[in-house]
Amino acid sequence: MSQLRRLLVLGAGGHGKAVAEAALLSGEWQQVVFLDDRWPELRVVCGVPVVGGLSHLAEHAGATDGAIAAVGNNGLRRAWQEKIAASGISLVSVVHPRACVSPSASIGAGSAIMSLAVVGTEARLGQGVIINAGAVVDHDATLDDYAHLGVGVCLAGGVAVGEAAWLQAGCSAGYGVVIEPGLVIKPGQALIAKD
């Protein structure tokens, strides 16, 4: 029988709930707990216990097998990942079991790949990347650290997304498009490569 594994999820908001659910469904984690600064008023979210605020991170280092920063805000996710690293807890990625990820893709630590997302051949994801539900990252695309794809975003082959860029729901980027670091693309925007 395998050892029970416990995941610490920082943030019990909408993205945190989705990450916790994906972790449990994946079978890689048998127990999930949240840290959220709304504690102690907030004690349980979707049946998952909230065991403290973010200031309690170090207290849980010995009782957890990994942690992930589960917040959509790119800057906050980076700061929380740095706290995880400083605490000595392993920074882990979570992949929903109904996502399709190529075995040749590389996924950086602390990334979250949600339900029905597709990560194609030779795609490269940095740390702390979010690929939301139904998003497509085609072959040879690159997402730098803390990039964030909203629900239903479609990236064609060879797209390069800069660090901490955020493509909101329904965006699309054609072959070879380069998205600058920190750029925020409004919902539904279509981006094409410049000639």
Q: Is the dihedral of CA 25, 26, 27, 31 positive or negative?
A: negative
How high is the pLDDT of residue 194? 76
Task: Check for a shared fold between 6-92 and 93-187.
Answer: no
Q: What is the pLDDT along the chain (195 residues), one digit of tens a residue?
A: 347 899 999 999 999 999 999 999 999 999 999 999 999 998 999 999 999 999 999 999 889 999 999 999 999 999 999 999 999 999 999 999 999 999 999 999 999 999 999 999 999 999 999 999 999 999 999 999 999 999 999 999 999 999 999 999 999 999 999 999 999 999 999 999 876
Class of domain 6-92: alpha beta
Select the CATH number that applies to the domain covering 93-187 from these four: 2.102.10.10, 3.40.980.10, 3.30.460.10, 2.160.10.10: 2.160.10.10
The encoded tokens of residue 21 equal 């659910």
The encoded tokens of residue 55 equal 């200031």
| In the chain, where the domains are located | 6-92, 93-187
How high is the pLDDT of residue 105? 98
How high is the pLDDT of residue 4? 84
How high is the pLDDT of residue 195? 64
Per-residue b/e over 96-110, b at no fewer than 16 CB within 10 Å? Answer: beebebeeebebbbb
In the chain, what's the furthest Cα-to-Cα distance?
A: 57
Q: What is the pTM of this model?
A: 0.95
Q: Residues 43, 66: contact at Cβ < 8 Å? A: no
